[in-house]
Every structure is written in structure tokens, then in C-alpha cells.
Amino acid sequence: MLQFQYAATAGSGGSILGLVGPFVLMFVVFYFLLIRPQQKKTKTRNAMLKALKKGDKVVTIGGLHGTIMEISDDIVVLRVNDVTKLTFDRGSISHSVVDVEDKE
């Protein structure tokens, strides 16, 4: 008789919050640790790509350093070693380089 009462209460006793709560908590943790920082990083990268202008010194994703000679919506022409001009997609720019001399 005692076993029957335990089985009846164990099967119907769980609340929906007890079942969904861990999933909600896991989603919140993923949001603040993974999703939100990635969105911020993407936003700052897009702002940097929009702010590029002729004469800026940049580094490509492949590690090539150069100066922007021409820039359009999709294409960037970089001058490398004061002789060579190379054409890249705008999205292949990793970051802009600020010289110490430019800051002063």
C-alpha cells in the first residue's frame, strides 16, 4: 500500500517550472557568455569596416600589412611596400593600425 501511494505522488507531483527551469537557466547562461559578446564583437567590426578611408593603414585577415589606396563598397585596394597594389574584399580587413606618430 505504501509503495502504491509513493508511485502515485511521484508521477504527478512535478511542476512545469521544475522541468523548464534548468533549460531557461541554461539559455540565459549561453546568452550572456556566448551570444551577447559575439554580437558586440560583430557590431564593433562592422563599425570599423564602415569607418575605413583612403590612407588608413590596415592588416588583412591573412596578416598582410598595407595602406588603403582606393576603397569602394565591396573592394579595397592596398599598397604594399610602396610598389605593389593588391585588391581585397572589404570584409577581409582584420583591423586598422594606428601609428604612434599619428597619435601625436
Measured between alpha carbons, how far is 25 from 95 in angstroms, rounded to an integer?
A: 35
State the pTM of this model: 0.67
Closest by CA to 87, choosing from 70, 65, 62, is: 70
User: Do 60 and 97 touch, CB atoms closer than 8 A?
Assistant: no
Looking at residue 15, what is its pLDDT? 83
When pLDDT is cut at 50, 70 and 90, the band that residue 100 belongs to is: low
d(CA 38, CA 20): 26
Averaged pLDDT score across all residues of the chain: 86
Strand, helix or coil for residue 38: helix
Average pLDDT over residues 86-93: 95
In three-state form (DSSP H/G/I as H, E/B as E, the rest C), the secondary structure along 48-95 is HHHHCCCCCEEEECCCCEEEEEEECCCEEEEEECCCEEEEEEHHHEEE
Residue 75's pLDDT band, with cuts at 50, 70 and 90, is very high
pLDDT digits (tens, 9 = 90+) for 7-40: 544 555 568 878 898 999 999 999 999 999 999 9
Fold type of domain 54-104 = SH3 type barrels. (2.30.30)
